[in-house]
Amino acid sequence: MNHSVILQLSNLTKTYPNRTDSSHTVVLDNVSLTLNHGELLGLLGPSGCGKTTLLRVVAGFESISQGTVSIAGKVVCTNCDSLAAEKRNTGMVFQDYALFPHLTVADNIAFGLQHQGKNGKKSIFPSQKNHTQINRRVHEVLELVGLRSLEKRYPHQLSGGQQQRIALARALAPQPALILLDEPLSNLDVQVRHRLRAEIRAILKAAGTSAIFVTHDREEALAISDKIAVMRQGKIEQVGTPEEVYLNPASRFVAEFVAQANFLPAIQKGLVWQTEIGEIPLSQSELTANNYAEVKTGELMLRPEDISLIPDPDSKIVVQERQFLGREYYYGIETASGKRIYARTNLERAIAIGTNVAVSLTVKAPQIFTVSSEVNKSLAPVSI
């Protein structure tokens, strides 16, 4: 294994036997993934897609049906053998913080350090009983998470955001090879989540720690991650940087889930795609492919921010809803065929509900998912 690789998942499959018959339910389906030292990976997907199960497999809380898990070059899990969770040199941050209510902040963090060396796990200290070194490390991680002044408080005396930072400090204290976070911000209110996601990224980067965190919140994944793995029905649909996943989705599902994209039926005729909102020129790559003589059907992908609206009494497209979101308006417009499209615009002009509007695009060559794509095999021909 490459020395820069901290985690290698190879062909992981996890199944559960069904109670009613002899069949099995597949939870993880041939998952392969690589994470390098210092990278932050977001596992993003809807509920039930397998992301938490994958995290628990890496942590050592779940077995696998086939495949291998390697951490820092060492195989820790196969379908035949599995290293105990406490021997994997990983740290876990749970959704509900899991702090000991009867211990102070400092004692919560020190707990894991005091128990290092047991169960075969190597201690970062020469002596288990070196309290001076343990206290120094506790103060270091408290400084790292910005809560040095709270070391004598108890968990119930802290806010939710402070408790989560203490949980992160406790996981970081033993200097694990990998930190695992299971929806760490889901129990917090919106404003705290927005602030804390930036803080968590900064803390992990300052510590130089690799991490995987599970989330179903696309903004959270985009804000924290170096790489995002989008999961669906036990499989990984796409792995890439936040920019790659958002701007160049590999499938219709990724486009819809991550970018909240609209999809419009389209027919390619000559050098354009014909749609209900007008003709869209073929992209340079489509022109280079030199196959534009063939008539094809597909779906035009439009993110809400790709759409501009202009009042036009002659248009058959009508504004059906409008939401004011502070920095922008969010519109729901309906085409002549009844297709609902969503657009985000700035505050320069407020368009009333019921207004007929013309649609223009802010992107030159929007992405097209053709019927030849696996995700669009059922797409029916369109009538323009």
Q: What is the pLDDT of residues 156-205, one digit of tens each?
A: 999 999 999 999 999 999 999 999 999 999 888 888 888 999 999 999 99
Least confident piece of the model among 15-24, 41-50, 122-131 = 122-131
Long-range contact list for 316-325, CB < 8 A, 24+ apart? 316/356, 317/276, 317/277, 317/356, 317/357, 317/358, 317/359, 318/354, 318/355, 318/356, 318/357, 319/351, 319/352, 319/353, 319/354, 319/355, 319/356, 319/357, 320/353, 321/353, 322/350, 322/351, 322/352, 322/353
Q: What is the pLDDT confidence band of residue 30, given thresholds at 50, 70 and 90? A: very high
| Residue 384 clears pLDDT 50, i.e. is over it | no
* Model pLDDT, residue 1: 46
* pLDDT higher than threshold 50 for residue 373: no
What pLDDT is attached to residue 24?
A: 84
What is residue 131's predicted lDDT score, i.e. its pLDDT? 83
What's the pTM value of the predicted model, to 2 decimals? 0.86
62 pLDDT higher than 50? yes
Residue 350 has a CB neighbour count (10 Å cut-off) of 11
Strand order through the sheet with 329-334: 307-311, 356-361, 317-324, 329-334, 340-345
pLDDT digits (tens, 9 = 90+) for 292-306: 556 688 899 999 999
The per-residue pLDDT for 378 is 34
Structure token pair of residue 246: 């958002």
Residue with tokens 């029905």: 233
